[in-house]
Amino acid sequence: MKTALLVIDVQNDYFSGGKFPLWKPEATLQSIEHAIAKAKSVGMPVILVQHVVTPAASAPFFGEGTEGAALHPRIQAAAPDAPIVVKQSADSFRDTTLDDTLQQLGITELLVCGMMTHNCVTHTALSRAAEKYHVRILPDCCTTVDEMIHALSLSALSDRLPLVPSDQAIEG
């Protein structure tokens, strides 16, 4: 199997000073940076997903052209050459280039992480378009609005998909 690390919506609005700060965004960012470094060390492709809402005036956050919608600078620094898939819905496959990108790279397995566990991570991992891939969730590299919703989301996902800590999922 050829595996890719899919990093969803690590964007400025989810951090302190943004329009919708999440629970533990800095710790999650650090875990994702570590996972990206490990992925790169074993030659695993990294794909970044960015949620952008148009028009910006209708968005409570992630408005097109806003600083909040930008990918966090540390994620861009960790994976400067990674393809960026722009989406407008919770499912990273819906009306995006994600599936084409994965097919071009010959990917058969996805390690999914990012923000928010209960929304975009879940919708992407359980997408109909994701069914042709072996999908695993990296719970240590995900977060959402609070600890309880994060835990409930991971529990619900565990009935359908394996949850694997990033250090075990990315060996090298």
Could you tell me the CATH number of the domain that includes residue 129? 3.40.50.850
Tell the burial category of 48 from Cβ atoms under 10 Å away from its Cβ (0-12, 13-18, 19+): buried
Q: Is the pLDDT of residue 43 over 80?
A: yes
% of the chain residues with pLDDT over 70? 99
pLDDT at 102: 98
Number of domain units in the chain? 1
pLDDT at 90: 96
Q: What's the pTM?
A: 0.97
pLDDT at 172: 67
Q: Is the pLDDT of residue 3 over 90?
A: yes
- 82-139: pLDDT as tens digits: 999 999 999 999 999 999 999 999 999 999 999 999 999 999 999 999 999 999 999 9
57 or 157, greater pLDDT: 157
Domain that holds residue 77: 3-169
Contact 166, 35 (CB under 8 A): yes
